[in-house]
Amino acid sequence: MQTLLLNSDDVHANCRMSELIPAVEDAFAAYETGDAQMPPKSYIDLPQYNGDFRSMPAYLDAGDWDAAGIKWVNVHPDNGEKFDLPTVMGTMIYSDPENAFPLALMDGTELTMLRTGAAAAVATDHLAVADASSMGVIGAGVQSYTQLRAISEIRPIEEVVVSDLSEERVADFIDTFEGEFDVRAGSIEEAAGCDVLSTVTPVEEPIVPRDAVGEHTHINAMGADAEGKHELADEVLLDAKLVIDDFDQTTHSGEINVPYHEGVLSDSDIYGAIGEIVIGAKEGRTADDGVSVFDSTGLAIQDVAAAHVAYEHADENDNGYEFDLLGLAE
């Protein structure tokens, strides 16, 4: 038996959004119905290097398929300046649940970007107005690209407003998408007024005010992934149909972590988990809904679902590099 090595190009080529979105939706459902195991994300803090490591293991049984794996990922904000490396890098180990054989080692950075976009698409599909045609993006880093790619798979997005402190990042984003969408630079307020808004910034002081958000805007709050991060004004969260991916993670390090621990926001302000909506235990958008918010911290079950899609297609397409990791070849 051989282990398959998949680099970022291999992951990208074999993890198509049309299949990744339903796979991530299946993962949310499995987690909600108890058909998944996902221990809490563990952190190794390295203040001497201004960084940290995070380990994210999971197993899920989606009925037609099951999968297991673990992602080892870091956040080192000084990497670009000091080492010409990405701030975030990840490695995914994808294993056969039946016998634990390591089926694949794959780039977890590309995997993370793709599954994060897919998670936002799942939430948008259930919570945004059906005819949503405009999308705002606040933060034009690498995550912004998969947000638009994924959400445009499930809503007829035509107009895109992108806002970022860096004119260069905005220009790059526009260059990438101007042939596909009516895309332009705009203010935070202009982006927030769109039918769908994705926020993908690392800020610790809210930048999206309540009065800027459209009457029926659905917001994917994707940026907060650590204690103290906070993109949306408290009033936005309090007024919205607030949906989370996981209670422990969102209260610890998601968009709601600051107002929750300050007592501004309580359990009663949380409408439910995305998994509850996916399986039909709670309603998604209704005719009476105004603003909705999906607080996404990123779950290990999403990584495993994405790794499943990437591996299955890579194996079919003969992509990647096979090697005898365990030395079992005779």
Catalytic positions, please?
A: 71
- Residue closest to 61 by CA, chosen among 82, 34, 43, 86: 34
42 marked ligand binding residue: no
Give residue for tokens 């007829």.
Answer: 156
143 is in an annotated binding site: yes
Question: What is the C-alpha to C-alpha distance for residues 31 and 61, in angstroms, rounded to an integer?
Answer: 9
Task: Say if residue 142 carries a ligand binding annotation.
Answer: yes
Query: What does the chain come to in residues?
Result: 330
Estimate the crossing angle of helix 108-127 against helix 142-154, to 10 degrees: 40
Residue 175 among known ligand-binding residues: no
115 is in an annotated binding site: yes
How large is the angle between the packed helices 300-317 and 17-33, nearest 10 degrees?
140
* Pairwise CA distance, residues 147 & 119, whole Å: 9
Q: How far apart are CA 249 and CA 42, in angstroms?
A: 11
200 annotated among ligand-binding-site residues: no
What b-and-e string marks burial along 37-64, b requiring 16 or more CB atoms within 10 Å of the CB? ebeebeeeeeeeeebeebebbbbbbbee
198 phi and psi angles, rounded to 5 deg = -115, 125
- Cα–Cα distance, 30 to 66 (Å, whole number): 10
Report whether 80 belongs to an annotated binding site. no
Our separate counts of H helices and E strands in the chain read: 12, 16
Count CB atoms within 10 A of the CB of residue 162: 25
The annotation status of 223 as a binding-site residue, yes or no, is yes
- Alpha carbons 146 and 115: distance in angstroms, whole number: 9
* Residues forming a β-bridge with 183: 160
52-55 long-range Cβ contacts below 8 angstroms, 24+ apart: 52/76
Please state the residue numbers annotated as binding site. Answer: 115, 142-143, 223-225, 229, 296
Please state the residue numbers annotated as binding site for NAD(+). Answer: 115, 142-143, 223-225, 229, 296
